[in-house]
Amino acid sequence: MNVSSKLVGVGSHHEWEVQELREDRKFAIEYAKVAIEGLSNPEELGGSLLCLRAVAEAYGGLGAVAAQAGISRESLYRALSPKGNPTLKTLVAVLKTVGLRLTVTPEKPVSARKAKAKRASVAA
C-alpha cells in the first residue's frame, strides 16, 4: 500500500522546492549562488547540479533552458544530474533563465603584503 497516495495535499520535496524557487526570486538567486559555489567542491558537485536543475525547472522548465543552450532536453538532464558535467554554455543558459549571469570573485581576500611575500618565496 502506497501511504503517500492516501495523504491529501502531500507532494514531493522536489515539487515544493521548485514551487518555492518560482515564488521567491530572492531565494532562487541565493540558491543559484550557493549551487554555483558548490561546483568547485567534488563532495558538493552532485547536489549543486541538482539545485541548478531545480532552478531551471522553476524558471521556464528544462525544455526552454535546453533550447536556449542549444542542446537537447535529454543532454540537459544528464548535465544537471548528480554525475553530470555541464559545459560553461549550459551553466550560463541555466543562470540566464533566472536573469542571472556568471561572475568571478576572489575565493579569499589576499592582502598585498601576503601576495608579495608569496611571489618572493616562489621566485627564490
Residue 3 lies in a domain: no
pLDDT at residue 96 greater than cutoff 60: yes
Q: Within 13 Å of residue 10, how many CA atoms lie on the same side as its CB?
A: 7
Percent pLDDT > 70 in the chain is: 79
Cα distance between the two ends of the chain: 71
The answer to whether residue 2 scores a pLDDT higher than 60 is no
Domain that holds residue 109: 11-123
- Flag whether 1 is in a domain: no
CA separation (Å) from 89 to 48, 52, 71?
17, 14, 10
pLDDT average, residue stretch 72-101? 90
Assess if residue 24 is contained within a domain.
Answer: yes
Q: What is the mean pLDDT of residues 46-62?
A: 93
Q: Report the pLDDT value the prediction gives residue 28, as an integer from 0 to 100.
A: 93
- Is residue 106 in some structural domain? yes
pLDDT above 60 for 63 = yes
pLDDT at residue 110, rounded to an integer: 63
Q: Contact at 8 Å (CB) between 18 and 58?
A: yes
